[in-house]
Homo-oligomer: A and B are copies of this chain.
Amino acid sequence: MVKLVVAYGQPEDPAGFDEHYVSRHIPLVEKIPNLRRFESGKVVGTPDGSAPPFYYLAELSFDDVEQLQAAMGSPEGEAAGADVATFASGGATLMIAQT
Given A5-B57, A57-B5, A97 and B43 contact (CB-CB distance below 8 Å): yes
14 A-B interface contacts by CB (under 8 A): A3-B41, A4-B47, A39-B99, A41-B97, A43-B95, A44-B96, A44-B97, A44-B98, A46-B94, A46-B95, A47-B94, A48-B94, A53-B93, A53-B95
Q: State whether B57 touches A95 (Cβ < 8 A).
A: yes
Q: State the main secondary structure of chain A at its contact with B.
A: strand
- Is A54 interfacial (CB 8 A cutoff)? yes
Closest Cβ of chain B: how far from A48's Cβ, in Å? 7
- Is A74 interfacial (CB 8 A cutoff)? no
A54: B residues at CB distance < 8 A = 95
| Residues of A in contact with B (beta carbons under 8 Å apart) | 2-5, 39-48, 52-54, 57, 65, 72, 93-99
